[in-house]
Each structure stands twice: as structure tokens, then as C-alpha cells.
Amino acid sequence: MLKIKQLAVAVGDKEILHDINMTIGTGETHVLFGPNGSGKTTLLTALMGFPKYRIVRGSITFQGKDITGLPLDERARLGIGMSFQRPPVVRGVKMSDMVAACLKGRGDAETVAKLAKRTDLEDFLDREINYGFSGGEIKRSEMMQLLAQKPKLALLDEPESGVDLENIVLIGELINELLEKHCPIPDRKCMGLIITHTGHILDYVNARTGYVMCDGRISCQGDPHEILQTIKEGGYGSCVNCLARRHLNV
């Protein structure tokens, strides 16, 4: 289980996220909606433990352990993984080396080759990571690394952005595989928190709970399809107004 309590996150001196509360049960998938710049990626990177994102209040508990002050790499080794929206190019480091590092000895070259085949990246194993990759290739590369990493909590930052229609089906399948959607609900161990700006990913991946983030706050929580419908009808502006009304208690 992941439990976020009254979390506030700052970058430099500026507080970006305020009073975030969220609980994701084992095997559950939740989605986070929100307009650009609302703080969605900040939440994911803060959960992952990137040092730039400083936790100023609140706590994060993962699998019963308080990880609020735990460094990035230790969180990763504890079972938190993240797919990046715009990962950096790492010149000289080959895709195959990266996937092997993610496997941490749980597989060999054959395992790497199988993962490459599954993600349609067989010709990319000798390529430098993210160097000259298209939008779809980056997403598949991120999914390949996460499938190798086998996290217990997968943080997915806009997995459908920049992906064409053909690739989005594959990305959806890979997310479902990562989140063990093929297993009966009680048997699923991997939790997921997916950021989506457009909600397209919900056509391919089922989620239990949805949230809307506006101006660094969670403005509402509920059935993800209902939330998406509301956003489609009234835009994110309706969420902002709703949040404002709640703050003013009107």
C-alpha cells in the first residue's frame, strides 16, 4: 500500500504541492488528471524521491515503511519505479546495459532479448539510451525498463503522450502486463499511479480511482471515467472552480 498524508512539496523556495492525501491499495491502479503545470509530474518525481523536489510537510508510507526521507535509489530498490515523460539521453550507455541494470541479475541476455521483442525494440538494444528516439520509442523504452525492474509501485508520467494510435495499443498492453491486469484482482501485487492529461489511456487500461490536480492540490477524487466525462464536458476550468468553491466553503 502507498499512503500519502498531507504532503507538501517545494522546488527551491516555492511550494508547488499542498496538502496531498492519497491511498493506493496493493494491486490498485489510480489515475491523476490535471491541466498542464498543475503539479502532476512534481507529485510523481517527489514520490520517486528526486532530490530537487523537497518534501516540506507530510509523509509518504510505502508497504508500511515511512520513506519520506529515503533517497531516490533506495526507493527504487524498495520497489518504486517510474516511466518518464521526457527522459534524458545518456550517451554511450546502451539500451541493453540499461535493461540489464534494471533486471538486477534476475535475467540474462535472453531475458533482455525477450523484453525487447515484447516492446518492439529489438533493433534498439545496441542504441544509446533515448538518443534519437521518437516519442513512441521513448515510451516503449521506458516500459521495457519498468518491465525489467518489476516495481511494486509503477509511476507512469503521461504514457500516451506523443504516441501514435498504433503504438498506444501496445503501450496499453505493456501497462496492463506491468500492473498484472491479467491476474485476478486479489492476486495483483503491483500498484499503479498514472498521470494522464487527455485520459486516452483509460481506453486501454482500467483504473479504480481518479484524481484531479489543480494548482498543486487534489481538487476531487472518484470514478476515473466519471471524472474524465466531467473534464470533457466542462474542461479543467470546472475543476478549478470546484476547488475554489471548496476552499471558500461556498
Partner 1 sequence: MSEIKSSESYRKKAKAAAAKAAAFGEDIDLSTYLTSAEEQPYQSDPEQLPAQAREHMLEAGVVLDDTSQRSGTYIQMDNTPVHSSIRGDGVEVIPISQALKKYDWLSDYWWRAVAVDTDKYTANVELNRGDGYFIRALAGHKTIFPVQACLYLAKARLAQNVHNIVIAEEGSELDIITGCTTASREDPGLHMGVSEFYIKRGARVTFTMIHSWNPAVAVRPRTGIIVEEDGLFLSNYVLMKPIHSLQMYPSARCVGENATVRYNSILVAGKGSSLDVGSRVFLEAKGAKTEIISRAITTGGDIIARGFIDGGAPEVKGHLECRGLILNNGGMIHAIPELKGNLAGIDLSHEAAVGKIAEEEVEYLMARGLTRTEATATIVRGFLRVDIQGLPPTLGAEIDRTVEASEKEVM
Binding site for partner 1 (CB under 8 A): 48, 50-51, 71-73, 76-77, 81-82, 84, 87-88, 90-94, 97-98, 101-102, 104, 128, 145, 149
Least spacing, CB of residue 239 vs partner 1, in Å:
30
Least spacing, CB of residue 201 vs partner 1, in Å:
21
Q: Are 95 and 129 in contact (CB under 8 A)?
A: yes
Least spacing, CB of residue 64 vs partner 1, in Å:
20
Provide CB contacts within 8 A for 165, sequence distance 6+. Answer: none
- Rg, the chain, Cα only: 18
Q: Cα–chain-centroid distance for residue 198?
A: 15
Estimate the crossing angle of helix 135-149 against helix 109-118, to 10 degrees: 140
Least spacing, CB of residue 159 vs partner 1, in Å:
16
**Closer residue to partner 1, CB minimum distance, 97 or 177:** 97
**Closer residue to partner 1, CB minimum distance, 48 or 194:** 48
**Closer residue to partner 1, CB minimum distance, 45 or 161:** 45
Least spacing, CB of residue 242 vs partner 1, in Å:
34
Provide CB contacts within 8 A for 128, sequence distance 6+. Answer: 89, 90, 91, 92, 93, 94, 95
236-to-197, 229, 249 alpha-carbon distances in Å: 10, 11, 20
Whole-number Å distance between alpha carbons of 83 and 158: 9
Q: Cα–chain-centroid distance for residue 139?
A: 12
**Closer residue to partner 1, CB minimum distance, 154 or 228:** 154
**Closer residue to partner 1, CB minimum distance, 149 or 209:** 149
**Closer residue to partner 1, CB minimum distance, 106 or 232:** 106
Least spacing, CB of residue 128 vs partner 1, in Å:
7
